Amino acid sequence: MKSARSVRPVLMILAVYMLSMFAGVAAVQAQNPTPDITLTCDNPQPIEVYPGSTRTAIINCKLDNPTIYSEKVNIQIQSGALISAGPASLTVGAGGVVNFQVILRGELRMAEGQHQISITAEVVQANGVTVVGTPTTYKVLAVIKQFSRLRVASEIAFLQLRPKVDYNLVFDLYNDGNAMDRFNVEISNYDELNDEGFQLSIPLVSVEIESMSPAEKVRIQMRTPKNQGWTDKYFNLQFKATSEYSVRTEGIPNYQIQTVTIYIRGVYLPGFELLGTSMITALAAAAFAGRYRSDEEEDSELPNELDARLF
């Protein structure tokens, strides 16, 4: 009897201990003992790729560990045409949070558009023990921002013409930006040339050009001044092209001016052009006839001179 009574307290203690153990296990299970990780990221700022820009953007991410284990998490980044850099692995303490960054870099003059970035986190160790976790992936969009850039070239830089002459000036317009753009064209000193007697016309006042495509040719129809009398003067024609995107979005007009020097030399008399070729032909014929008569007179005088020398 005494031995049975002495064993009973021991059994009771063991029972209480076992119950406490089961309660602890239940509590641990309630805290999610399976290795797990939560990943969240923010969309990056648009990436500028114009010459001189950094061409980079940063993605801010966060790892949350809801378990009671210290976890080692591997990070994988898929960025497509963009260059990316970030941590290969991170350790997140039990119930802890770790922030990290992924850096993106675009190419110079990269085409405007959107790129999907996939960031994957996978638990590979829990409390130092290798485990097989379920990967979690978060996707963000990286935007390559459009920028404007143009170039203007002229087939000629200097031109000499007579008064009242029709001539077509041709300018090459290039879109060196990273997306399609519309360019407005004009003669920036039109009023000045108009006051001097020039007649100018631009068939197209705007033109749309694909990025990095061959030059678009812009023509200016010009008639030189017909001011009465003699003209011997230099003029500058300033051809200007402006990116419409820069005006609408960038806030500062992006433009280029190409200058052509025009030298007007000659005489203009009202009504003189009506005589045309007939008058020029008549003058040439008269000059030729005068020269022919002069040659005949010289030939007729030669024998007399020889006779005088003989006698």
pLDDT at 25: 39
pLDDT at 301 over 80: no
HSE, CB side, 13 Å, CA atoms: give it for residue 219: 5
- When pLDDT is cut at 50, 70 and 90, the band that residue 275 belongs to is very low
The whole-number pLDDT of residue 196 equals 96
150-268 has the same fold as 31-144: yes
Question: Where do the domains of the chain lie?
Answer: 31-144, 150-268
Average pLDDT of the residues of the chain: 85
Tell me which of 273 and 107 has the higher pLDDT: 107
β-strands 113-126, 136-144 pairing: antiparallel
User: What percent of the chain is modeled with pLDDT above 90?
Assistant: 72
Q: What angle do CA 225, 228, 234 make, to 5 degrees?
A: 45
CATH number of 31-144: 2.60.40.10
Helices H / strands E in the chain, number of each: 4, 18
For the stretch 242-273, pLDDT in tens is 999 999 999 999 999 999 999 999 999 886 65
Q: Rounded to the nearest 5 degrees, what angle is found at the Cα of 96, between the Cα atoms of 92 and 102?
A: 55
d(CA 223, CA 190): 13
CA distance 35 to 131: 8
Q: Are 122 and 90 in contact (CB under 8 A)?
A: no
For domain 150-268, the CATH superfamily is Immunoglobulins (2.60.40.10)
What are the pLDDT digits (tens) for 79-94?
999 999 999 999 999 9
Indicate whether 73 pLDDT > 80. yes
pLDDT confidence tier of residue 68, bands split at 50, 70 and 90: very high
Q: Residue 23's pLDDT is what?
A: 45
Sole residue written with tokens 């990290």? 100
Q: How far apart are CA 75 and CA 39, in angstroms?
A: 10
Mean pLDDT of 218-245: 96
pLDDT tens-digit map of 6-62: 556 555 655 555 555 444 434 434 444 588 999 999 999 999 999 999 999 999 999
Segment 52-57 long-range contacts (CB within 8 Å, at least 24 positions apart)? 55/105, 55/106, 55/107, 55/108, 55/110, 56/103, 56/104, 56/105, 56/106, 57/103, 57/104, 57/142
pLDDT bin (cut points 50, 70, 90) of residue 98 is very high
* 204: pLDDT strictly greater than 60: yes
* C-alpha to C-alpha distances, 138 to 40, 42, 61, 103, nearest whole angstrom: 6, 10, 9, 15
In degrees, rounded to 5, the angle at the alpha carbon of residue 276 between the alpha carbons of residues 273 and 282 is: 130
